[in-house]
Structures are given as C-alpha cells and as structure tokens.
Amino acid sequence: MQLQQGQTLRFGTEGLDNAYTEDDTYIRLYDPNGVEVDSNDDYDNRGSFISYVAVETGTYSMHIGCFANDYCTGTVAWEVLPTE
C-alpha cells in the first residue's frame, strides 16, 4: 500500500463497513523499511482494526492472519484518508 506522509490508513476485520469476521484475527502493519509499526488483536471482541498515520512516504505492508495459528475467515476492509 503506497502512502504519503500524513495520510491515515484504516484497515481490519472489524471497525469499517464491509469488514467482517467471527474468528480471532490478528493484523500487523509494516513501514517501508520492514519495521512493524502497529498491530492489533481483539479490537472489538475477536476482530482486529488499525488506524495509522504514515510518518513517512513509501510502501507499507498489511499482514492479516489468525491469532495462535487457528483457522479463520473473514473480510478485510481498508481505506486511506487524505492528509490533514
């Protein structure tokens, strides 16, 4: 995901329209240098959600999976908000 400094990335399996899961998901966000800058487990019950303001311009990676290697399904939703 290409982000400009100051843009907000919001993504997850809960917290946005069309995001959905009944399982225990876990999400991570990595900056352009490959450093984990945010993660979430159990935002609201079992799903996950991150809202992150980019501190630098570049390609960020969203990693979505299951907590504790369990099987899980769902729909990930995401949006990028403009720089304020």
**CATH code for the domain in which residue 6 is found:** 2.60.120.380
Q: Does some domain include residue 84?
A: no
Quick one: pLDDT at residue 45?
A: 77
Q: How many CB atoms lie within 10 A of CB 27?
A: 21
Give how many domains the chain has, as a whole number: 1
In this structure, is residue 7 part of a structural domain? yes
Listed in order, strand segments (DSSP E) in the chain are 2-3, 8-12, 25-30, 36-41, 49-53, 58-59, 61-66, 77-81
C-alpha of 26 from chain center:
9
- Is 23 inside a domain boundary? yes
Range of the domain at 46: 2-79
Q: What is the pLDDT of residues 56-70, one digit of tens each?
A: 999 999 999 998 767
- Is 48 a domain residue? yes
pTM for this model (two decimals): 0.91
